[in-house]
Amino acid sequence: MDSPQPHPPNEQANAVIAQWRLQILNILLWVLVGLGGLALIVGAWSDYSTMGDQALPFISIYTAAYLLVVAAAALRQLSLTIRALLLLTILGATATFLLIFFGLAGSGRVLWIGVIVLALVYFGSWGGMIALALSLVIMIITAAIYVSGNATFVTAENLAIQDTIADWAGSIGLYLGSAALTLAPFLYLWRRLEGLAQRTTAEAARARMHAQQAEQHATQLQQQTAQLQATEQMLRNLVQSLETPTVEIARDVLLAPIVGQIDSQRADQLLKRLLDVVSTRRARVVVIDVAGVPAFDTMAAQSLIQTVQALRLIGSEAIITGISPTMAQTITALGIDMNTIATARSPQDVLLHLPS
């Protein structure tokens, strides 16, 4: 089964940035829920105390805006775009309200800069440019209202300091300068964050790819190791069967030539194999030829004695052939008792003396 293909680094970076945007939006919305609720209570009480029943329309507007903020914060099943548009609409409407009713004396211009920043975050450069253009249009319209003397809803004291074109032109210029000083470093930092997210996700993708490759290599090595172990075991079994072959040289007579040095491990293997073969073939005589053994010592002699005794226990007679003069001299010098073991010069001699 093929493993799922990883997403390209750019898609992963976009997913990370989208997650950042979502977290920022959730935090802002719940902050607005908390601060907005407090502002609604305090503002509604203050306006009603000052204006009486005339404040009810304003209180209704405050309440509707607050409920929209609560809905945007609570309804997380809505898409990010819809919730972001709802947030920008509420903040833009609030900034416009502050700008129209309080003019240069209010905080509408500052709040509009925040709207532009959020538009950049959620809708890119075009969103920021549209928000900036919209804020300038609203400021120009508000300036026209104030300069023309139609701002009857503003107190005389506030109107006196913002009723000329020069006041509003300077204020708009200051607004553009403040927006530029705010947005330029923000854009720089945001671009750096996007680049960092892309590099991080690209490095993470490479690390996952390397980890997958390492895992695949490890799996392949394990498979190769298992195959080598199986092959090694097969070769060992083959060597064990070949290093002590058994050949039937007459009826119920087996020849087992031994080649090479006899140690404890090989002696155990020799004994086991001969017992298995003799028992399977029901041989009555086993000729063990030691002409190919280079050195005959106590270990070799004891091994042969044990083999002969074990073969006798299962009803088979063992005869040792191929003992050279050097071997005979060594056996005598070591004082090894071979009287209980039948010997012959060669396998041919054994065949000549066997009863027909």
- The secondary structure of 7-55 as a DSSP string is PPHHHHHHHHHHHHHHHHHHHHHHHHHHHHHHHHHHHHHHHHHHHGGGG
pLDDT at 257 over 80: yes
In terms of residue numbers, what domain contains 194? 9-210
Q: Is 288 found in the same domain as 145?
A: no
Q: Is 156 found in the same domain as 37?
A: yes
Q: Could you give phi then psi for residue 135, rounded to 5 degrees?
A: -65, -40
Which token pair is 18?
């989208």
- Please state the rounded mean pLDDT for residues 281-289: 86
Range 345-353, long-range pairs (CB < 8 A, 24+ positions)? 345/321, 346/289, 346/321, 346/322, 347/249, 347/255, 347/287, 347/289, 347/321, 349/321, 350/253, 350/285, 350/287, 350/319, 350/321, 351/249, 351/250, 351/253
**Residue 2 belongs to some domain of the structure:** no
Cα–Cα distance between 209 and 213 in angstroms, integer? 6
Write down which residue in 157, 188, 210 finishes a domain: 210
Q: Is 164 found in the same domain as 306?
A: no
Radius of gyration, CA atoms only, the chain: 50
Q: Is the dihedral of CA 326, 327, 328, 331 positive or negative?
A: positive
Q: Is 19 found in the same domain as 94?
A: yes
pLDDT at 22 over 80: no
**Residue 323 belongs to some domain of the structure:** yes
Q: Which residues pair with 285 in a beta bridge?
A: 253, 317
- Please state the rounded mean pLDDT for residues 131-140: 90
Cα–Cα distance between 266 and 243 in angstroms, integer? 10
**Nearest 10 degrees: Cα torsion 119, 122, 125, 131:** -20
Cα–Cα distance between 304 and 265 in angstroms, integer? 13
**Residue 127 belongs to some domain of the structure:** yes
pLDDT at site 253? 85
DSSP-derived 3-state class of residue 255? strand
Q: What is the mean pLDDT of the chain?
A: 77
Write down which residue in 210, 230, 261 finishes a domain: 210
pLDDT at site 240? 52
- Please state the rounded mean pLDDT for residues 132-136: 90
pLDDT at 1 over 70: no
Q: Is the dihedral of CA 223, 228, 233, 237 positive or negative?
A: positive
For Cα atoms 336, 340, 345, give the angle at the middle one, nearest 5 degrees: 85
Q: Is 157 found in the same domain as 31?
A: yes
pLDDT at site 156? 63
- Please state the rounded mean pLDDT for residues 257-274: 79
Nearest to 172 by CA among 112, 89, 90: 112
pLDDT at 37 over 80: no
Instruction: Judge whether 80 and 22 are in contact, CB under 8 Å.
Output: yes
Q: Could you give phi then psi for residue 19, rounded to 5 degrees?
A: -65, -40
**Residue 37 belongs to some domain of the structure:** yes
Residue 305: pLDDT band by 50, 70, 90 thresholds?
confident
Write down which residue in 189, 210, 231 finishes a domain: 210
Looking at per-residue confidence, does 17 or 223 come out higher? 223
Q: Is 146 found in the same domain as 44?
A: yes
Q: Is 185 found in the same domain as 132?
A: yes
Q: Is 189 found in the same domain as 81?
A: yes
Q: Is 256 found in the same domain as 156?
A: no
Cα–Cα distance between 27 and 35 in angstroms, integer? 12
pLDDT at 321 over 80: yes
Q: Is 183 found in the same domain as 248?
A: no
Structural domain count of the chain: 2
pTM of the shown model? 0.48
pLDDT at site 134? 92
CATH code at 308?
A: 3.30.750.24
Q: Is 26 found in the same domain as 106?
A: yes
pLDDT at site 239? 53
pLDDT at 191 over 70: yes
- Please report, rounded to a whole number, the percentage of residues in the chain having pLDDT higher than 90: 1
Residue-wise pLDDT tens digits, 65-91: 778 778 777 877 778 788 888 888 888
**Residue 48 belongs to some domain of the structure:** yes
Q: Is 183 found in the same domain as 101?
A: yes
**Residue 1 belongs to some domain of the structure:** no
